[in-house]
Amino acid sequence: MTTIVVLGSTNMDLVAYVAHPPKRGETVTGRAFRTVPGGKGANQAVAAARAGGDVAVIGAVGSDPFGERLRHALEASGVDTDLLRTADGPSGTAHVVVDDDGGNAIVVVPGANGTVTALSPGDETLIAAADLLLLQLELPLSAVLDGAAAAHRHGVRTVLTPAPVQPLPPELLAVTDLLVPNEHEAAQLTGVADPLGAAQALLRQVPEVVITLGAAGCLHASRDCAPTVVPAPLVRAVDTTGAGDTFTGALAVALGEGRPVGEALRWASCAAALCVQREGASTSMPYRPEIDASFAPTHAPEDDTP
């Protein structure tokens, strides 16, 4: 079983549904409200655990009632939360306004996530025993750097999702084994709009890149082999929230199992395609049997019956 540590954020998403978002000074009446456990770290942890990984999360929830719910949501998907701290004060929150056109506006308040500025000795021990460490940029950069450096010291493969996108310090790039931006993040990081060109630019900084391309699939590029595009399964998408985190969590599991990279990418694409066909983010992430079932028909062994 692949052992994965996720060093990342947990947020409660507070989602209001409105006909149109309020302008400054305006009050509008919403149609519905939901609280949904989220945060990129927690979402990748849930995705990887449901995909069959042995997953632990390092981060922090607050001492408020959201903190308990966030912890339980992770545990319900099989994520180990022993090293998820409870910090005095509020949990991280994402205040989301979704309008009738499906557009959204989001304010993220880091809360407890902002208290994770460095690793503890216990965190480093856990990371040292893992196959992969998954990182994003919703925790203070000092903790991300600490975690990636610790993984590198122990020969643990690091997978970085550069979101929310920001310039990446050279010391972080130096300890990143696989970078997984979406096409917008890749363009912003490199100033190159074309994904192939962006991948080539990124390969000057990290050894391997997967750029996700939404419904068009993903582009894999590494210093060792020619770039390839892996198309996504053709499905009817109803909600693409969480697609990238589902993809990355599943990809980490498959890579940790030693599956060839092309197969791992196709399997992760099947996981993400299942996620986009359902409403929700962490709630719509598929479990392993479903991923295997949707992967199998397209990858049946050669028919050798006479």
Residues identified as active-site? 245
Any idea how long the chain is?
306
Q: How far is the CB of 213 from ligand ADP (least distance, A)?
A: 6
Q: Which stretch binds ligand ADP (CB under 6 A): 22-30, 100-108, 145-153, 266-274?
A: 266-274
The reply to whether 172 sits near ligand ADP by the rule CB under 6 A is no
Nearer to ligand ADP, 93 or 246 (CB): 246
The reply to whether 62 sits near ligand ADP by the rule CB under 6 A is no
Q: How far is the CB of 186 from ligand ADP (least distance, A)?
A: 10
Q: How far is the CB of 80 from ligand ADP (least distance, A)?
A: 25
Measured CA to CA, the distance from residue 117 to residue 144 in angstroms comes to 8
The reply to whether 165 sits near ligand ADP by the rule CB under 6 A is no
CA angle at 267 for the pair 76 and 147, rounded to the nearest 5° = 60
Q: How far is the CB of 217 from ligand ADP (least distance, A)?
A: 6
Measured CA to CA, the distance from residue 199 to residue 222 in angstroms comes to 9
Answer positive or negative: Cα dihedral of 250, 251, 255, 259.
positive
Q: Which stretch binds ligand ADP (CB under 6 A): 20-28, 112-120, 192-200, 271-279?
A: 271-279
DSSP summary character for residue 182: B
The reply to whether 215 sits near ligand ADP by the rule CB under 6 A is yes
The reply to whether 229 sits near ligand ADP by the rule CB under 6 A is no
Residues in 230-259 at the binding interface with ligand ADP, rule: CB under 6 A: 232-233, 235, 237, 240, 243-244, 247
Q: Please count the residues of this chain forming the interface with ligand ADP, following the rule CB under 6 A.
A: 19
Q: Which of 37, 39, 62, 217 binds ligand ADP (CB under 6 A)?
A: 217
Q: Which of 55, 108, 273, 291 binds ligand ADP (CB under 6 A)?
A: 273
The reply to whether 213 sits near ligand ADP by the rule CB under 6 A is yes
- What phi and psi values does residue 197 have, to the nearest 5 degrees? -65, -40
In this structure, what token pair is assigned to residue 243? 């697609």
In terms of DSSP bridges, do strands 208-212 and 218-222 run parallel, antiparallel, or are they unpaired?
antiparallel
First-to-last C-alpha distance (Å) of the chain: 37
Nearer to ligand ADP, 2 or 182 (CB): 182
Measured CA to CA, the distance from residue 300 to residue 303 in angstroms comes to 8
Which ranges of the chain would DSSP assign to H, the alpha helix? 40-50, 65-76, 121-128, 141-153, 170-173, 183-190, 195-202, 243-256, 261-276, 288-295
Q: How far is the CB of 98 from ligand ADP (least distance, A)?
A: 16
* One-character DSSP codes across 255-303: HHTT--HHHHHHHHHHHHHHHHTSSSSGGGPPPHHHHHHHHGGGGPPP-
Residues that bind ligand ADP (CB under 6 A): 182, 212-215, 217-218, 232-233, 235, 237, 240, 243-244, 247, 269, 272-273, 276
